[in-house]
Structure 1
């Protein structure tokens, strides 16, 4: 006597997640550039992408303009924004993401050593402690 098993399954339906408003936390570092590169497919599908720098110095926004030009060349609807440093970079980013109603935050993960971030705190740790939106991290 022989038995045969037949497995029947319906076709799976997969729909990509699309983020409409994306905030990119930009500090001009290699790790931040990697995060943007990794997230480029999602950025290209977004309706708006805000490249945000945090700080009080006039020169803080300069690298963001260069990134915006690069993203626009890749078909991304990007703009640069500068936000004031509040209590911390993480707090400033979290408040901004909430204020603009973003769906996704793209940022580098752990820019400093994890020990330093643990002792002094860090933007990554702050965002992940209380995420208001989806967070795309790269390192």
Structure 2
């Protein structure tokens, strides 16, 4: 059973990692990694294409959703991918360690990214931290093009 890993736990972690990657610019590299895992299992091209087709459809659904529905869509996609990846691992338990590596790499990339801010001496002031465009009242700030 894939180095003693719990298959459904690996599938759940991979589903969460893939949904998170779908919303990032790094999606293509995650997709390529999962494609390699699917292909290494000796699956025929039709099966690999079907698995990737499901992932691509999930990617489109997430990215075509509105901001207000994105969290719900992500939750549904995570459940769907859990089923898909769980079924894949049931047929290919030796792929569990590779899939777990994909999850671990995704988590490592997430730890060093993002914005860190320390705010000191802000008595009687407001602090606004945003990773994208912001507007409030007569204040407006657009993120530089390369940072969106």
- The question of a shared fold, defined as TM-score above 0.5 by the shorter chain, is answered with no
TM-score by length of 1: 0.32
TM-score by length of 2: 0.31
Greater relative contact order (CA < 8 Å, ≥ 6 in sequence): 2
